[in-house]
Chains A and B, each alone.
Chain A
Amino acid sequence: QKEVEQNSGPLSVPEGAIASLNCTYSDRVSQSFFWYRQYSGKSPELIMSIYSNGDKEDGRFTAQLNKASQYVSLLIRDSQPSDSATYLCAVSHSGYSTLTFGKGTMLLVSP
């Protein structure tokens, strides 16, 4: 059973702070990792993808992957109220075309 675990939150941070979202996965041969943002009532939209160990930065977002620890995280710098949403971690498995999603972490950024 391939599992993806996330803290459900909510994670509350003040505007301008760094938000740190974490995700662990059970399948050691997982190969692709994604962070999606989902606003209430809307469909998920891709924020970041990461495929190799280390950090990947895109604007205010940084994804971090540690395959040895089976851990992937998303850092949001200078958090804005518009970042308030649920963040879904998704993992793609070697040899399969499907993605497994975590249940998501709700982020609340207060002005």
Chain B
Amino acid sequence: DTGVSQNPRHKITKRGQNVTFRCDPISEHNRLYWYRQTLGQGPEFLTYFQNEAQLEKSRLLSDRFSAERPKGSFSTLEIQRTEQGDSAMYLCASSSGVINQPQHFGDGTRLSIL
């Protein structure tokens, strides 16, 4: 069990640029979640995949955000035309398909918009 891996750990970009983050879940975990966390706040849910299907999206996930999990393994989160307000920690979590099991989090990608 190598844990949830997120890359890159840090990303600095100029406003208006596109960015993409990657999440590798714990192997054989078929559920994958994305959260966003701003300073001083708890993480907020963005979206959830079961295998390759995106089953739930938060209202926080504007049309500039897109997430994919093409083969039901790793996932990517893309933000287009980044804005200052997108600066945050983006966290990925995974869990097994067994009901009521905990989510296991990665250490996140910190995005800073200049």
Are A and B interaction partners?
no
Please report A residues at the B interface, Cβ cutoff 8 Å. Answer: none
